[in-house]
Amino acid sequence: MAAEAAAIALSRCDERLARATPDLAEGVRQRGHAFEAQALIALAGGLCPLEDLILHDAGMDVRSPTREITRAAAMLDERRRLARREPTGILSPDAVRGRLGLTQPRRPEGSGRSGAALVSTDRISAPWEESYRGEDDDDRIGEDQELEDDTDPATDPAFAEIDALLARTRNKLDSWNDLSSDAGRKSLTLRDPAYDGAGRCQRWLAVLEEGRGLPATLAAALALDAWLALEPSERAGELGFALAAIVLRQRGLAQAHLPTLGLGLRLGRFRWGPHQALSVRVGGLLGALTEAAAFVQADCDRLSLARELMLRKCENRRGNSKLAELIVLFVSSPLVTVQLAAARLKVTPQAVEAMLKELGASLPRELTGRKRYRAWGIV
């Protein structure tokens, strides 16, 4: 059965990470977050080079980040936050609604501009114009009205078109409230007025509740399938992959790592589509779980081999050598710079550069392509 095969693959992967050294397990987890963010962008039709994502995450961009890189970095941060929290607090109905922005505090009665951040983005007019209008503004308004009285718009049709354009612009600006607030920035986003986010989220929570009596992998696959079909969020569609992974962790699987469902879906041949039958969709997602576990096992092998090759350079060295600690840093972190290594190992940058030369051919790949401010990583 596909659900049983996925559960076995995840259990074996989790057991291996639990028995691995702390630096190796941490390296696999951190690389898994980056691989998952890259895969989700690829599934959406975007391009996200892994090196650019890692460099952007470390604040060492070699070129201006694209929209895909920015989205992938946001997904990377979101997965790290979810991996540090307890599953029960993440999957509670209130927590899910709050993460999707469906819970908004009520606006106090009689509030003016101070409550602009709490106003729904569907408001058309802004009520704070009169409260922020001073005496000088009243004088200017009176002068403008006198000038308007002297000019007859009927004499020139162009004035009527200009007035209509100004009216539309004024209404649009009024509907944006205050652009310096979070509510004002969110109102700039185009939204579907017929989109029922609260209702879709409620239906997804119902599917999540129905899966409590099912096996863990089957419940996670159903939760992800329902998320992709219902689309509870207009802008956070990739969040469903992380929530499905949290379902596995809540049910006792994947305690040592957060599964990379998007990566497994990208590596396999199956592509999810709403036109497919439910059994086909769920079976394909279960296969993606198996693919994800197999990739983590292969990545663990790759990191172990790189670690063993670098550790060979530590033979017959002094007891106070920091080279072994530098190798641990390479394995546990996706990106290492001279400044970072010097701070972690408490040595000078010149000592770090000397150790990098001693690694020779086993040195991880340089990611920036520059001669200064360089970074290395096993990617």
SS (H, E, C) 243-306: HHHHHHHHCCCCCCCCCCHHHHHHHCCCCCCCCCCHHHHHHHHHHHHHHHHHHHHHHHHHHHHH
Nearest to 171 by CA among 163, 159, 161: 163
Contact call for residues 43 and 326 (beta carbons, < 8 A): no
User: What pLDDT digit, counting tens, does each position of 251-278 carry?
Assistant: 988 889 999 999 999 999 999 998 999 9
Comparison of pLDDT for 192 and 154, the residue scoring more: 192
Instruction: Say if residue 182's pLDDT is above 80.
Output: no
Going 232 to 238 to 241 to 242, the CA torsion angle's sign is negative
User: What pLDDT digit, counting tens, does each position of 16-37 carry?
Assistant: 999 999 999 999 999 999 999 9
Identify the pLDDT of residue 202: 93
How confident is the model over 11-15, as a mean pLDDT?
93
Average pLDDT over the chain reads 82
pTM of the shown model: 0.74
Length of the chain: 379
